[in-house]
Structure 1
C-alpha cells in the first residue's frame, strides 16, 4: 500500500533534490545539453557574492521578526478565543479564514491597500509622514511584507494554540486562584509550561515557513525596490530559472537547505527544554 506513495515521493521530491545536489558541482546553465564539473567552485563563489549576502540578511531579519510577532499575536488571540465569550466558534472560523486564502491574492490585495488606500487615509487624518506607499521605499518595504505574512500566518498558529489551551486542566487554575496567584503567574507557571510543545511546533514551523518566503515577496515587491526585499528563495528562482545560473543557484539552495535544517534542529533542542510532562 505504501509503494505508490513512496514512488511518487521519490520521483517528485527525492530524485530532483539529488539532481540539484549533483548539478551544484557543475557549471550547467539549465538549458544546454553539456556541462563541466567545477567541484566546489560554486560554493566558494557564493560566500563572495554580495547579492546573496544581502538576501540572507533580509531573509533572516524578516523571519526572526515575523516569527516573534506571529507567535505573540497568535497566543494572545487564542487565549482570548479560549475564554467563555459569545460567538466563540464564529470568531474561531473568522480568524482561520486567512489560512485558506491564496497567498498571491492576499498579496495583491494588500499591495493595493499599501499603494492607494493607506496613503490617502494617512493624508486625510493628518499623518503626512505616513502618506506614502511603503512598498516603494527600500527602507520600509520589508515592513509591508512582514504585515502581510504575519496576518496570514496567525490563522494556523491560533488553531494550534487553541488545541494546546484545551489540554490545560481547569483544576490547576482553581487551585492557583486559591493560593492567590494572579493571571500573569497562572500563565507563566501553568499555561505556558503545559502548552510548551505547541509553542515549539509553532516556533519551528513559523521560522521554517518564513525562511522560505516567496509568494508574499513576489506579490508585493518582486524583490524591490532595487533588491532590498529579495529573499533567498526568490534569488534562487530568478538566478536559476531566469538568469542562467542553474548550477550556481543549486549550490545556493543546498547551502540554504542545510541552514534551515540546522536552525530547525537548534530550535527544537532549545525549546523542548521548557516542555513538561503531565
Structure 2
C-alpha cells in the first residue's frame, strides 16, 4: 500500500469520526465484500437453488428410474432415454415443435421488423401506436388463447363460410390445427420483438440515411445496406429468444387445442405435462425433459454462433 493511499484513508476515517467531511464508501471491509452484500445475495441464491436447482437435480435423478409419480420405484439406468428414440409419439411431438417454432420465429421477426420500421418513421401519434402494439405481451396467454379459440371455432366459420378451411373449424382439422396456434403465438410474441427492433433502429445515426439519399439510394437499398446490418445484434437477440420461446410452447396449445385433434398439435412441453403428471410416466417424461433441455441449449448455441458470424460479415 502506497503512502498516498494510506494518508487518504486516514483523512477519510478521521473525517467520518468527527461527523464531518467525506465518509469512506463501505464497499469492502479488510479486502472482503461488505456484509450487506452477502445479506442481499445469499437469500436470492438460496431461493434460486431451492426452486430451480434442486427440482432439476431431482428430475434428473428420477429419469434413471421407473417412478410413475407415486409408490415404489427402481433404477432402470438409461432405458428411459433409449426408449425415447423409439417412441413415435415423442418423435411426432418433436416434429411438430420444431416445425411450429421455425414458422412462428420467421413470421414473428418479419412482421415485427416491418412494424418497427413503420413506427420508427415520423408518423402521427407514434408513441400511442408503440403502446398499443405492446399490449399483447402483457396479456395472459391462456385468457387470450380462449378468446382465439372462440374466434376460430365459432366466429370465423360464420363470417367466412365460403372458405372450406375456415368453415370446417381449423381447430378440429388435424392438417390445419397448427395454423391458429401459430397466429396466436406470432400475435403475442411480436409485441416484445417490436420493442427490441425499435431500440436497435434508434441507435442508427440519421446522417447515414441522408448521405445515402444524396447518393441516390432508394428505401430498399438503404434497408439492405444500412438498416439491417446495423441492427444485426438486435436481430440475433430476437431470433434466439423467439426460437427458444416457441420451442417451449405450452399455453397456446393448451388454450386452443389441448394437443388435439388426437396428438396432431402436441408439443414436447404438452407431452411432458400430460405424460408426467396425468399419465403415470413421471420418470419417462423426466428423461424426455432432460433431452429437451439439451436440445434447446444446442439449438440456441448453434443459432447464436451462426447469427453472430453473420453480424461480423456485415
1:88 matched to 2:126? The reply is yes
**Deviation (angstroms), 1:180:** 1.4
Equivalent residue, structure 1, for 2:85:
47
Q: Kindly report the root-mean-square deviation, in angstroms, between the aligned alpha carbons of the 2 structures.
A: 1.3
1:19 matched to 2:58? The reply is yes
Q: Within 2, Cα distance between the matches of 1:31 and 1:171?
A: 67
**Deviation (angstroms), 1:277:** 11
1:201 matched to 2:199? The reply is no
Q: State how 1:104-183 maps to structure 2 within 5 Å.
A: 104-123=142-161, 126-128=162-164, 130-183=166-219
SS at match of 1:163: helix
Equivalent residue, structure 2, for 1:67:
105
Equivalent residue, structure 2, for 1:101:
139
- 1:31 aligned to which of 70, 73, 87: 70
Q: Within 2, Cα distance between the matches of 1:128 and 1:269?
A: 43
Question: If you compute each CA radius of gyration, which structure gives the higher value, 1 or 2?
Answer: 2
Q: Within 2, Cα distance between the matches of 1:146 and 1:191?
A: 28
Equivalent residue, structure 2, for 1:235:
271
CA deviations on 1:163-215 (whole Å, 9 max, x unpaired) are 01000110111111111111111111111111111101100000011000000
Q: Within 2, Cα distance between the matches of 1:185 and 1:149?
A: 31
Point out which structure has higher relative CO (alpha carbons under 8 A, 6+ apart). 1
Structure 2 runs not aligned, ≥5 long: 1-39
Contact 1:193–1:276 (CA<8 Å) still a contact in 2? no
Contact 1:193–1:274 (CA<8 Å) still a contact in 2? no
Q: Within 2, Cα distance between the matches of 1:52 and 1:129?
A: 28
TM-score between both structures, scaled by the size of structure 1:
0.97
Contact 2:152–2:166 (CA<8 Å) still a contact in 1? no
TM-score between both structures, scaled by the size of structure 2:
0.86
Q: Within 1, Cα distance between the matches of 2:55 and 2:164?
A: 51
**Deviation (angstroms), 1:127:** 3.4
CA deviations on 1:241-274 (whole Å, 9 max, x unpaired) are 0011000000000000000000000011000123
SS at match of 1:2: helix
**Deviation (angstroms), 1:31:** 1.2
Q: Within 2, Cα distance between the matches of 1:129 and 1:105?
A: 25
**Deviation (angstroms), 1:147:** 0.4
Equivalent residue, structure 2, for 1:185:
221
Structure 1 runs not aligned, ≥5 long: none
Q: Within 2, Cα distance between the matches of 1:180 and 1:222?
A: 54
- CA distance change for structure 1 residues 11 and 131 in 2, over 3 Å: closer, same or farther? same
Equivalent residue, structure 1, for 2:253:
217
**Deviation (angstroms), 1:130:** 3.2
| The 10-residue stretch of structure 1 (174-183 or 83-92) with the greater mean CA deviation from structure 2 | 174-183
